[in-house]
Amino acid sequence: MLSVPLLLHMSRHHPQLHLEVSRGNTALLIHALRERRLDAAVVDIRALRPAIDLCISHQVEMAASFMCRPGHPLCSRSGPLPFNDVLAYPIASTPLSDEVARILTERYGAAANPDDMVTLRCDDTPTLVEVARQSDAVVLTINAAGRGLVQLDTHPPLKATARFGFVTLAQRTEVPGLSIVRKLVAELLTE
């Protein structure tokens, strides 16, 4: 959702600037930021512990759903799906924050605990989306990342979101070009 548009924009409009995109879970990205191996990170800020050394800007809330490929057996069903029907298929997800785990278990019970529910886990959302496109796996992800997939209407409704933010280190001088990246990320997240 961000990597390709960001890299394309930089190659077309700022070819002299060096840009490196890293992917990983929130803890690893924030560790790399603190080690100054990254200048900024875009992460689900619900997974962050409050810390005075981090500055968070451009916070955006994005709706999330259980999603599957068109033609998936669950798509032929009418009306909202009981959660247990979704659980009959492999569930794919990135590592989820404690807050999302709490929401899932409140809505669907103990069976929705991500430690048990998620059978396919990966830090890379596009990989999980592709697995859902090519199999009967159901992916739990933000709707914007699941283009081409079908959002499943569950009972009760999921009504979950991810809250992304642009994270930098406080008291650190901004590197040249970071303002360009920050502006473009803000635009891409709000589209």
Same domain as 77, residue 101: yes
User: Under DSSP, is residue 119 helix (H, G, I), strand (E, B) or coil?
Assistant: coil
Residue with tokens 């068109």: 70
Domain range for 40 is 3-61+163-190
Same domain as 143, residue 73: yes
Count of structural domains within the chain? 2
- Give the C-alpha separation, 130 to 69, whole Å: 9
Same domain as 75, residue 53: no
- 0.75 surpassed by pTM: yes
In CATH, what number is assigned to the domain containing residue 77?
A: 3.40.190.290
Q: Work out the end-to-end distance of the chain between its first and last CA atoms, rounded to an integer number of angstroms.
A: 10
Same domain as 158, residue 66: yes
pLDDT tens per residue, the chain (191 residues)? Answer: 788 899 999 999 999 998 889 888 888 999 999 999 999 999 988 888 889 999 998 888 999 999 999 999 999 988 999 999 999 999 999 988 888 899 999 999 999 999 999 999 998 899 999 999 999 999 999 999 999 999 999 999 998 888 899 999 998 888 888 999 989 988 888 77
